[in-house]
Amino acid sequence: MIKSLTIRGFKSVSDTTTLDLGAVNVFIGANGSGKSNILEALGVVSAAAYGTVDDEALDRRGVRLGLPRLYKSSFKGHRLLPDIYFCAQSDAAKYDISILNPLENPEPAWEYKTEGLYDGDHAVSTLGIRSSKANFPRNRGLAALKIVDLPDDNPAAELLRTLQDFAIYSPNTPTLRGMISETQRRPVGLTGGGLADAVQELLGSKDEDEKDIYNEIIDLLDWVESFDTATSASTILSPSVARPKRVLRFTDRYMSKNRNVLSAYDASEGALYILFVALLCNLKSGPACFAIDNIDQALNPRLVQRLMQNTCAWIVRSGKQLLCTAHNPIILDGLPLGDDRVRLFVVERDRSGQTIPRRVTITDKLRTMAQDKGWPLSRLWVMGHLGGVPDV
């Protein structure tokens, strides 16, 4: 698990900023406060850990593509730093990089100014401008090659693999419905493509934990009697609708038999978002660490509260790590923040515009306020008492 992430000079995170992460990390803040920039910072580290920071590698991880002048922090009155620095640490390993690309005539791939992978105090791989590896391409990472020689359970190798697999997911309804195809990732695409295949993976799983997920999903979908997938969809889809090879089917428990099967195209979008989150959190084929931007979209407040509670339990059970952004205040009231593995961060911009993430610590007094006096975190957040609200 990634225990901390340090960012310097990336987009709106200008000064050196370190986040101490838990298993579930929820970022709230005003629109434009820089929440997604934090997720994207980890996306850039992921690409670097894989060995190349170029548009293709960034795009595959859900990072919005941009020119160096947009990636490098550039605030009024501040000196523009030539490089962007990141550091990700687990309990026993560290990976840090600083990358370069000129503002004028940028190269397709960023250069590695420095790269270091450490197993405790031992340097597994180091790369620097003045290093002796003169023939090694400047736009390639060395750590990705070095871990081939390490045992699977080596902490540095584990950290690098976790970073390599990281991606930012931003589901959208047309893709979840199967109307738009996208480059496939396992278990689902970054915007929700291939949901039916992922559901089939769950249904065919022999893993006992994964078998439980089916019931836990059904429990969240009050109108659904069952769900499965089919390869022939002619009875439930209009011939005019473009379809993928496999389609998702929901059985509506209120409708008459033989007329109660809906495809993803017709089903409630909320059900699709629930499935998407549940599959990502639970399927072992998915990344060990991932992010979901706007985890609360398209969901009823009570449903999103339950989903977040389930998500926390799923993540802890599967041993994965989640970073997500949210806007619905009701989420805060459902988060088990008494558990140190679940962390809430408020993201704000200071007067100069720099993004400052801050962990919200729940004191006994705040807990009493919520439980005994009817002042839950959702109300405090909207009133501004937790910060992270727009000036409107």
Partner 1 sequence: MSNYRIALIAEGKTDKLVIEAAIESILGHKRFSVTQLQPDEGAYEIGRGTIDSAHRSDGWNGVYRWCRDTHKMGSGSIEGTGLEDFDLVIVHIDADVAGSTYQAANIADNPTNDLPCVQPCPPAEDTVDVLESVLKTWLPALMTTRNVIPCIPSQCTESWVAVALYAHTDHEITAGIECRTDLADYLSTRSGKRLIRKHGGLPKKEFARYRAAQGMISVGWGTVQQYCPSACKFSKSVQQVLTA
Q: List residues near partner 1 by CB under 8 A.
A: 15, 348-352, 354, 356, 363, 365-366, 368-369, 373, 375, 377, 379-380, 382-389, 391
Distance CA 324, CA 191 (A): 14
Q: By C-beta, is 212 or 350 nearer to partner 1? A: 350
Q: Which is nearer to partner 1, 114 or 354 (CB)?
A: 354
Residue with tokens 């190349």: 52
CB of 350 to partner 1, least distance (A): 4
CB closer to partner 1 out of 337 and 366: 366
Query: Angle 309-310-315 (CA atoms, 0-180°, nearest 5)?
Result: 105
- Enter the tokens of residue 305: 């509260």
CA triplet 55, 61, 63: central angle to 5 degrees? 65
Q: How far apart are CA 167 and CA 292, in angstroms?
A: 9
Beta bridge partners of 27: 325, 345
User: Which residue type occupies 356?
Assistant: I
Q: Which two tokens stand for residue 85?
A: 């620095």
Toward partner 1, which CB reaches closer, 92 or 369? Answer: 369
- Beta carbon of residue 380, minimum distance to partner 1 (angstroms, whole number): 4
> Taking the complex as a whole, how short is the minimal distance between the CB of residue 388 and partner 1, in angstroms?
8
Shortest approach of partner 1 to residue 379 CB, angstroms? 6
Pick 66 or 384: Cβ nearer partner 1: 384
Instruction: Kindly state the smallest distance separating residue 314's Cβ from partner 1, in Å.
Output: 29
Q: Which is nearer to partner 1, 17 or 191 (CB)?
A: 17
Q: Centre a 10 Å sphere on the Cβ of residue 66 and count the other Cβ atoms it contains.
A: 13
* 113: three-class secondary structure by DSSP: strand
Instruction: Write down the least CB distance from residue 312 to partner 1, Å.
Output: 22
The span from the CA of 119 to the CA of 157, in Å, is 8
**How near is the Cβ of 383 to partner 1 at its closest, in Å?**
5
End-to-end Cα, the chain, rounded Å: 38
Strands (E), 259-326: 261-263, 289-292, 321-325
Instruction: Output 214 or 375, the one with its CB closest to partner 1.
Output: 375
